[in-house]
Structure 1
Amino acid sequence: MLAAAGLGWYFLGEHTVRNENNTVANLGTSHETPQGKPSHLDESSLREVGSLDKESIKSSLGTSSEKAVLPEKNFDFLANYCLNCHDAEKEEGEVNLEDLDFHITTIEQAELWQSVLNAINSGEMPPEDKKQPKSQEKADFLESLSNTMVDARKVLSDSGGKITMSRLNKREYQNSLDALLGVKLDEKFLPADGGSNDFDTVGASLFLSSSKLEEYLKSGRKALDEFYLKRAARNVKPFVYRVEPEILIKKARENSQKAKKDAKKPQHYGGGKYGQHYARLPHNDKGAYLMLTTGNVLIHLNPKKEMPPGTYTLRVAGGVTAESPSYRHFIELGHPEEGKNIKSQLDGFPIKSLHITGRPGQPNVTETQIRVGMDTRRDFVIRERQPTAWGHLRKILNKEQNRNGYGHEPSIWIDWIEIEGPIVQNQAKSPLDQILDLHHEKSTGDQFKRARNIIKDFAIKALRENQPSAQFVDALLEIFKRQLKIDKDFDVAIRKPLSIILASPGFIYLNEPGREGNPRGLSDRELAVRLSYFLWSSPPDDRLISLANKRELRNPKVLRQEVERMIKDPKAHHFAAGLVHQWLDMERLDLFQFNGQTFREFDENTREASREEVYQSFLYLLRSSEQGQVHNLLKSDYVVVNAMMASYYGLEGVKGDHYRKVSLANNSPRGGLLGMAAIHVMGSDGRESNPVERGAWVLRHILNDPPPPAPANVPQISRLDDKVLTKRQRLVAHQEEPQCASCHRKIDPIGFGMENFDASGKWRGSYTTATMDKATRKKNKGFKPKKVDASGALYKGPAFADFFELRDRISERKEDFSQGFIEALIEYGLRRPYAFTDDELTSQIMASAKRQDYQLVDFIHGIVQSKQFQSK
């Protein structure tokens, strides 16, 4: 147990620890308590060893030449409508605006100005019995003050470029365990990150509490237990588990006939018109057809119960009927739902989906790999992909049964399924595997010497080539000796000191020691670590460490070559997923469930595929030497998709589950972020498109012109409640209120320019009732299809006739887009909020990128080659 919860400082090794009260333990490298005695490093000895020193960790706001100043033109508005009540003499509500400085330099000033903004936005001020401003006058003032408040927030949160000490976030911790042990710990066993609106790399939001230390100890031990199970599997002969589904169906049919009175028995084969229909299907004696809701819905896979943790190959031989639509050419792998009467459902979401490309009787083999962990269920099922909610398909089934008597037409025919593994050949050994192989049982007759060697070598790897002190290793060896007396087994006892290493600050923190106020350049080793966690979210590999040891990594030419190498590595996907997901606020993609009857093709598989399309499009540009310009994220003549997304977009000839570049027709609305389904899904509520969300997202992430937060207590236009209006008509009426007009006149035109995309990101030419739910359809009784009007004009900018012209206008704003991307890149890469002190760095990166025609990779080179990235 930990000594104290939330107070004091905790000793886990040789580095500084920040606890939840933002205090710091600076333990140096002596590994001694204040009394000078060596510390024991098991869980019961994580103790307080110092006193609070808040001054040593206080963050400076720094200085900035940037100012938050409300333009003087707004004084007349305040004089005419506010100061008659809120001057130094009257101070109604104890508010004096007469002495309030237009230059906002303090939090207190900013809070009062925000109160002014909120009061006018809500309509509370001026009071109804006072003189009222004209609508345009009020809207202009609100816009000016809103923009000033955005500037004030930036100025007052400026960190002055200081990089806060940073621990590994959840992604990095998971990847670091994987790099050390070859174990990808399930997310539910990972300590959570702190809540923050910043990137998850920002150190200030990644505090370390006493309870979190306990979590790290448990997580590290769990990962080690799984490692030893996987290591033991190296001596297990791989097995092949094969399923012939037609044989399973035959047996199920025979069992069903014997026990047909048992209502709980699943009717796998089925009877009546369904059974008659199935019996007529070709090749049903050589394979099985997957049915959506009745009959052979699931194929169960139950490999050996002793299936050890590791990597397994899944192979599926199958085909699809020529008549079936392309979106029904996919299967999904998952775990069967337990304890329910409906036997067609999965336990949670699918593990993955697979594209089936053969024909019945002429199967093609689709292959993938799955990782099985210590806690992974050993029973699997295959089914045709379908909506998560079974009831949505049931409604479609009823219509189909009324039409043909048996239900859905079959689409997928399965010949056989195999699971092979665990795969050990050609698999690179983890660092801990290599250490244990080097210090094997026969390497020395002294088991304590062997344990010490293992502890020391593992500590070096875990601390990212930082040498542990002799006292640190000795203390861990003492823990091993005590544990060995309890466990009687070397391989079990050694896990405790190893797990403590995995909970030590040297592992959890990216250790870059320095003194307050004295910036310094990073050492080559520190630079290797920072670069690796930037581009891979994981520890440096042997090549980076080798270059660092030879002191060659800081050479600009070598550093550039390493960046090029690293972005081509599969681990660069961690960079794309980590940066892009947060930069584009993609967490909204998971907020809403879609009705499987209304949006038949948008299921959990599509959601994941659309998310991956965004990441893969970014990676393609990052790695491309010909089309790698950043503005291809705004508009392009291609997409980067797999078969599922190609089917979703109506693109033919794309097979397989891997992502690749696919050229588009000249009139395609796809190509670039504004054509991607994921972006439009985020701009909906799962039922209807939301022009306001979409317009605000474009302003925030594409044009780098974020609108201010929505005002509180926005008045509703009750006179329109009973009227059948289009979204455009309703939002135009909404702008009758000045506090709404100040924002919506910028947001709404962009949002309506994307109205050709429905809630699920499908292209439409007209509004219909097809995608309306029952309540909305009833409310809009008598509604007739109406052509989508996507015309408009950018605020104080050019007009556009449709989505295609809007996309053209937006793609011309590549400098604004690049500016926003650079700011996100700096915050993500330097692990602290973007500051006004970074403006010079931004200008340098922008200038360099312009010279290279905005090649995406040059933005990465720009930050990596910068003094800021290479300094502490």
Structure 2
Amino acid sequence: MNKSLFATLVFAVIGLPCASLLAAELPKVAVENTQYAVLQKHCILCHSGEDAEAAFRIDDLSLDINDIETAARWQKVLNALNSGEMPPEGEPEIDKAAKANFLEHLANTMVDARRKLSDQKGEIIMRRLNRREYGNTLRELLGVDINVNDLPSDKNTGSFDTVGSNLYMSSTQFEQYMALGREALDEAFEWEAASGVEKKLRFETEEITPKVSKFIEYQLDARQRAERWIEQVDKAVANPDNAAIIEEIKAGPLGNHRDILYRNWKKLEGAPAPESFGFQTEEDNADKALAGSRPFHLPYHRYYMEQPAIETGAYLAAPNEHPSKLDNATINLLVPFSWPVGEYVVRFRVAATEHATPDRSFLEFGINPRAQQAISVHHITGTMDDPQVIEVPLTMTRSNKERANRSLFLREKGSRDDWVQATRIAREGRDENDGIGRKFALWIDWMEIERLPMADQPKPPGIAVLQNIPFDDKSGEPNLAELHAAFQQFALEAFRGQEPSPKYIDDLVQVYQTYRKLGDKHSDALKNTLAIIISSPMFLYHFEPRDTDAPRTLTDREFANRLSYFLWSSPPDKELQQLAEAGKLQEPEILEQQVTRLLDDPRSEEFVDAFTYQWLTLERLDFFQVNQEHHPRFDNSTRMNACREIYETFGYLVQNNGQLPDLLQSDYAVINGVLANYYGIDDVTGDRFRPVPLPDGTPRGGLLGMAAVHLMGSNGDTTSPVERGAWVLRKLLHDPPPPAPANIPQLARLAGKPLTTKQRLTAHQEEPQCASCHRQIDPIGFGLENFDAVGIWRTEDSYQAMDDNGKPVKDGKVTWEIDPAGKLHNGPAFQNFLELRDAIAAKEDAFARGFTEALIQYALGRPVGFTDETLIEDIQNEARSKDYTVRAFVHALVQSKEFHSK
């Protein structure tokens, strides 16, 4: 049996009253008689009666799929036909078109059967906080962020991390929650201890200039010594006694390369010892001698010293290929390890030089340059006459503080992503500048970091309720009454308004006393006891108890919790709590006002990011690295901003109540300076994402114009029309193709042949089990082929065939002009991408339907089933009446009976 079906059916058995009850209440799922006729014609002779082949009968196979057993038997039919197992060899083949139609129908029917048999009839399973909610809840309680990535994943493929059936608990997780709770308390106590501390550190970058000057002197001296040493080596090379050694060297892997002669100086009779010329170590002295003689090291340093403004700042140089080169590619500011955790701001004064082309006008900022990945990238619009000051907020956590290399860095965008990229940049720089080295595009005046004092800011609630007891071990020990009150107040905050029992608090006091008797200091005993509170079920679970199987209306406090975690992924704030306590929150007018307030709040970014990531299955963006040798402009900073474009666009619609169909087609793009440069859109500067008007005929605008969307439909190097077409069907057209069969036939006869992408995939459709899906998928994928693997517009593509050893096949390269024309399966034809986009945008109702189902699943924490049909239609009808504005969907869902019920 298909594993995914088996898992779904097991869930149906253990989670639902009984299959027969569902069959009586849910819509009918059945195989059509016209399709069953294919089996009757080709299979019934062998698979009927008591002596049926392989004991599998189809003559008594019900067309109605009402139970698990029937679904399993039909799945077996589907698997046998997909694998080519049936009909068996020697029996008449099924007509290819008829087989493709049958497989398409049966695969879609089985998808419906899975939904039917796993329908929870609106039941919401008890669920714990997922990783995001847990981290956010700790932050709201204690005011600190901790890394929760070591907790198990909260989602299965195709579902959301809010779905209760995924949010199980194991004993190992309880231990992890205890450890993470203690870690959060350690962090919070350290932040509290340093709340009034002020720190500031400034680095004037012109301090680099004397080092460059001194290194030039060193290079000149080293070069003179190297030239004298090389002259002596050359004499040794001329010695006839060395002829055999030289011939041996020439026959080596680098052939007649002068460097090899120098590296093998020890073999040569009469060659002087490099130590006598001032080179210090036997292992690398030959390389150092050559480094001093190479022609592009010293000139680059001299070129730097000729630049203006080196007495007041520093230029960012080409990335290093060798330690002897100018080491200004990254400017570092080392932060002392003694500096406390807290909120900081980093500032730097920068300018773009006359050599700053549009591609070279961006500056990366990060922490710990060895980790490579930048935190942010900034568009430099200041000039040498009028530099700009950029401010970047930075949270210094205990994790940052304990890093081996805690330095802040600035570097030119994309210059240090990897060695291949750095080498290419340095080489191109020399080619463009008379062999000297890359011209300088960015100038840094100074860089500073300042800790912001926290003493005047409101304390997080979990810390505020503990103010009557000491946090340290120098201020005395609290009495039992003070401990009891502190634990009671802390638990009340941690449990989101649910009162802990008196016995629970008494037990906590006893736990604290036990820790003290065992020798723990007061601060450790206090944190260990508080960690129990934030590892308990009342903290870790959404508290919505139910005494009977019958649905009930949520209390106002429970409703406030559900609403807040839906739109903020964190606990309700004071205003929601007060409305809940007054019994007013569920009144329609007040609720509408509160939903608007929550969406207007910056915390709604949690909803935007988490929902968008899972709705559009953006995890594929993390699957692979881009081949930067083939796509050099798509560096890590461009990737970071391209991914951010998807979130920022949906966030713009949420914040401005924009229309959902704008994600299909729009006359604007929500971009910043980095992406405008990448897309070739003029007159857009700065780091802020905002809507930018687009000219007619542009391929940008909407999801299908975004580089990150096309990156998902590639392997980081070449495009995959199948991945792209399937994604469009799933996410934009609400017409997902059924799961791919387990045994997809491989077309070995095409290996090593120079074919276009369309020729290769069209040949794949010769197999009916492939054609049934690919005739829907491929036309869409081909229509998107004008976008390369990283979303750059193109008109040509090429393919190089490789042999079994990975070597290029002779005459195996083909280049072709891209032909995006096609026809949607059972839909209109299109001649180019713009017409394809128009055809997709015309299906806004289907797109809205898919969005509605995803929103329900995310908000209610359960799969959407057939019994949700009325809810889906009500939400979609309400949103349609308001031009499909995004907030209309949210308001309609929150006002629904289902959102108010448990």
TM-score (norm 1): 0.88
Matched residue, 1:371: 395
Distance, in Å, in 2 between the alignment partners of 1:194 and 1:842 is 23
Distance, in Å, in 2 between the alignment partners of 1:251 and 1:427 is 43
Deviation (angstroms), 1:140: 0.9
Unaligned runs of 5+ residues in structure 2 are 1-11, 223-278, 321-325
User: Are the equivalent residues in 1 in contact too, given 2:15–2:120 (CA < 8 A)?
Assistant: no
State which of 390, 398, 411 in structure 1 corresponds to 2:427.
398
User: Are the equivalent residues in 2 in contact too, given 1:286–1:361 (CA < 8 A)?
Assistant: no
User: Are the equivalent residues in 1 in contact too, given 2:26–2:116 (CA < 8 A)?
Assistant: no
Q: 1:690 to 1:214 in 2, by over 3 A?
A: same
Q: 1:584 to 1:776 in 2, by over 3 A?
A: farther
The residue matched to 1:408 in structure 2 has which SS? Answer: coil
Q: 1:719 to 1:457 in 2, by over 3 A?
A: same
Matched residue, 2:901: 871
User: Are the equivalent residues in 2 in contact too, given 1:330–1:356 (CA < 8 A)?
Assistant: yes
State which of 785, 791, 816 in structure 2 corresponds to 1:755.
785
User: Are the equivalent residues in 1 in contact too, given 2:667–2:693 (CA < 8 A)?
Assistant: yes
Q: 1:851 to 1:358 in 2, by over 3 A?
A: same
Matched residue, 2:411: 383
What CA RMSD, in Å, does the superposition of the two structures yield over aligned residues? 2.9
Matched residue, 1:420: 450
For residues 8-41 of structure 1, the C-alpha deviation after alignment (integer angstroms, 9 at most, x for no partner) is: xxxxxxxxxxxxxxxxxxxxxxxxxxxxxxxxxx
The residue matched to 1:127 in structure 2 has which SS? Answer: coil
User: Are the equivalent residues in 1 in contact too, given 2:752–2:809 (CA < 8 A)?
Assistant: no
Matched residue, 2:439: 409
Q: 1:383 to 1:76 in 2, by over 3 A?
A: same
| Residue identity matched to 2:314 | A
For residues 216-240 of structure 1, the C-alpha deviation after alignment (integer angstroms, 9 at most, x for no partner) is: 000000000000111111132x111
Matched residue, 1:239: 199
Q: Does 1:436 align with 2:466?
A: yes
Q: 1:272-671 residue pairs with structure 2 within 5 A?
A: 272-294=298-320, 295=326, 296-336=328-368, 346-347=370-371, 349-376=373-400, 377=403, 378-386=406-414, 388-402=417-431, 404-424=434-454, 427-437=457-467, 447-486=479-518, 489-625=521-657, 628-671=658-701
Q: 1:31-110 residue pairs with structure 2 within 5 A?
A: 63=22, 64-110=25-71
| Residue identity matched to 1:474 | D
Q: 1:700-715 residue pairs with structure 2 within 5 A?
A: 700-715=730-745
User: Are the equivalent residues in 2 in contact too, given 1:56–1:516 (CA < 8 A)?
Assistant: no
Matched residue, 1:166: 127
Distance, in Å, in 1 between the alignment partners of 2:83 and 2:43 is 15
| Residue identity matched to 1:662 | V
The residue matched to 1:437 in structure 2 has which SS? Answer: coil
User: Are the equivalent residues in 2 in contact too, given 1:610–1:677 (CA < 8 A)?
Assistant: yes
The residue matched to 1:312 in structure 2 has which SS? Answer: strand
State which of 868, 880, 889 in structure 2 corresponds to 1:838.
868
Deviation (angstroms), 1:439: 5.5
For residues 650-689 of structure 1, the C-alpha deviation after alignment (integer angstroms, 9 at most, x for no partner) is: 2223233222111111121111111111111000011111
Distance, in Å, in 1 between the alignment partners of 2:718 and 2:15 is 48
Which one has a larger percent helix, Structure 1 or Structure 2?
Answer: 2
State which of 116, 129, 132 in structure 1 corresponds to 2:77.
116
Distance, in Å, in 2 between the alignment partners of 1:843 and 1:827 is 15
Deviation (angstroms), 1:426: 6.0
For residues 691-750 of structure 1, the C-alpha deviation after alignment (integer angstroms, 9 at most, x for no partner) is: 100000000011110001111222233333343111111111111111111111100011
Instruction: Answer with 1 or 2: which has the greater Rg.
Output: 2
Distance, in Å, in 1 between the alignment partners of 2:309 and 2:664 is 48
Q: Which moved more, 1:393-402 or 1:670-679?
A: 393-402
The residue matched to 1:805 in structure 2 has which SS? Answer: helix
User: Are the equivalent residues in 2 in contact too, given 1:190–1:219 (CA < 8 A)?
Assistant: no
The residue matched to 1:494 in structure 2 has which SS? Answer: helix
Distance, in Å, in 1 between the alignment partners of 2:800 and 2:646 is 28
User: Are the equivalent residues in 2 in contact too, given 1:60–1:160 (CA < 8 A)?
Assistant: no
User: Are the equivalent residues in 2 in contact too, given 1:333–1:352 (CA < 8 A)?
Assistant: yes
Deviation (angstroms), 1:195: 4.8
Distance, in Å, in 2 between the alignment partners of 1:115 and 1:473 is 57
Q: 1:487 to 1:645 in 2, by over 3 A?
A: farther
Identity %: 42
Distance, in Å, in 1 between the alignment partners of 2:875 and 2:594 is 19
Q: How many residues align?
A: 807
Distance, in Å, in 1 between the alignment partners of 2:807 and 2:725 is 25
Matched residue, 1:137: 98
The residue matched to 2:652 in structure 1 has which SS? Answer: helix
Q: Which moved more, 1:302-311 or 1:522-531?
A: 302-311
Deviation (angstroms), 1:329: 2.2
The residue matched to 2:590 in structure 1 has which SS? Answer: helix
Q: Which moved more, 1:524-533 or 1:74-83?
A: 74-83
For residues 592-613 of structure 1, the C-alpha deviation after alignment (integer angstroms, 9 at most, x for no partner) is: 1112222112222222222221
Distance, in Å, in 2 between the alignment partners of 1:409 and 1:598 is 23
Deviation (angstroms), 1:367: 1.1
The residue matched to 1:139 in structure 2 has which SS? Answer: helix
Deviation (angstroms), 1:582: 0.6
Deviation (angstroms), 1:795: 0.5
For residues 383-420 of structure 1, the C-alpha deviation after alignment (integer angstroms, 9 at most, x for no partner) is: 22226322233144335435531333332211111111
Distance, in Å, in 1 between the alignment partners of 2:135 and 2:115 is 32
Q: 1:459 to 1:278 in 2, by over 3 A?
A: same
User: Are the equivalent residues in 2 in contact too, given 1:522–1:870 (CA < 8 A)?
Assistant: yes
The residue matched to 1:711 in structure 2 has which SS? Answer: coil
The residue matched to 1:588 in structure 2 has which SS? Answer: helix
Q: Which moved more, 1:214-223 or 1:361-370?
A: 361-370
| Residue identity matched to 1:359 | T
State which of 789, 801, 811 in structure 1 corresponds to 2:819.
789
For residues 571-616 of structure 1, the C-alpha deviation after alignment (integer angstroms, 9 at most, x for no partner) is: 1111011111111110001111112222112222222222221111
Unaligned runs of 5+ residues in structure 1 are 1-53, 338-345
User: Are the equivalent residues in 1 in contact too, given 2:488–2:505 (CA < 8 A)?
Assistant: yes
Distance, in Å, in 1 between the alignment partners of 2:866 and 2:443 is 60
User: Are the equivalent residues in 1 in contact too, given 2:96–2:768 (CA < 8 A)?
Assistant: yes
The residue matched to 2:61 in structure 1 has which SS? Answer: coil
